[in-house]
Amino acid sequence: MSFFRWIFKRNRNKVEIDEGKLPDHIAIIMDGNGRWAKRRGLPRNVGHREGANALRRVVLSCNEIGIKYLTVYAFSTENWKRPKSEVDALMNLLIEFLKSADRELAGKNVRICVIGDVEGLPLNIQKEIQRVTKSTSRNTGLNFNIALNYGSRAEMLYAVKAVADEVKKGKMKIDEISEQVISERLYTREIPDPDLIIRTSGEQRISNFLLWQIAYAEFWFTDVLWPDFNGDILLEAVKQYQNRNRRFGGI
C-alpha cells in the first residue's frame, strides 16, 4: 500500500461519506498559487508547480473514491493577459504535466481529456494533448477533463455560431433549437453537467467557467490555497455536498 493510499484511507475514516450519494461530476476552480508563493517569499512559478502537485493528489483522490468526472480550470482565455514570463512558465509546466500524466496514472484507469480552444495553444502542447488523450482514450475509470485556453463565453459563442451555420445551410429550423441542441455543441458535449463546483483561496466568483453547465450545481468555497488542497479537504467538500437538498427548481 502506497503512502498516498494510507493517508487517504486514514482521512476517509476521519471524514465519513456516503458512497451511494457521490457527485458524478466535480469541477474545480484552482485558485491561490500566486498567493501561496508570495506568503512564503517565493516566485509565483513555484506556487504554480506546487499547484500541479496538488492537482495530482486530487486526481488520485477522485479516482480512489469513485468520482466519474473531474474538470479543472487550468488555463483560461483571460490568463494570456498575465506577464509573458509567467505565461511561458505555465506553458512549460503544462507540457511537463501532460508528458508525465499518463505515466504517473498508469494502472489507475484514468481517461484524460482537454476542453477549450486547443488550436489557440502552442503547437507542441497541441501535439502532447493529442498523444495523452489517445494513450488514455480506452480507460474507463475517472474522466479527467483539463480546461485549457477555456472561456465559457467563448464556448457559448462557438456553440451559437455552429447552430446559426446549420440554420443558414438549411440543416436545422429555428424552432428546432433547444437547450439540448446548444449543449451538444459545447466543448463539454460528452460530459454531464457538474454536480459540485469547488473554488479555493477564499474567492467566491465563477470567473467565466462552465456558465451554461453549472445552472443547478452546488457550490463549495474554501479559504485553502490550491497548493495546500488535498484528499482530506476534497472529502469534506463531498460531505457538505451530500448534506444538501438539491431541488433543481422544485420544492
C-alpha cell at 116: 477549450
Number of domains in the chain: 1
13 a catalytic residue: no
Poorest-pLDDT segment among 31-40, 69-78, 81-90, 101-110: 101-110
The pLDDT of residue 109 is 93
Cα 63 to Cα 165: distance, rounded to the nearest angstrom: 39
Classify residue 125: in a domain, yes or no: yes
Cα 207 to Cα 29: distance, rounded to the nearest angstrom: 9
- Note the pLDDT tens digit of each residue in 22-37: 999 999 999 999 999 9
Classify residue 156: in a domain, yes or no: no
Classify residue 74: in a domain, yes or no: yes
- Note the pLDDT tens digit of each residue in 62-74: 999 999 999 999 9
CATH number reported for the structural domain that contains residue 106 in this entry: 3.40.1180.10
Exposure string of 33-55, with b = 16+ CB inside 10 Å and e = fewer, is bbbbbeeeeeebbbbbbbbbebb
175 a catalytic residue: no
Annotated catalytic residue, options 31, 45, 102, 195? 31
Classify residue 185: in a domain, yes or no: no
Domain extent for 77: 22-151+193-242
Which H or E run contains 25?
Answer: strand 25-29
Annotated catalytic residue, options 11, 24, 79, 208? 79
E runs forming strands in 55-207: 69-76, 111-115, 143-150, 196-199
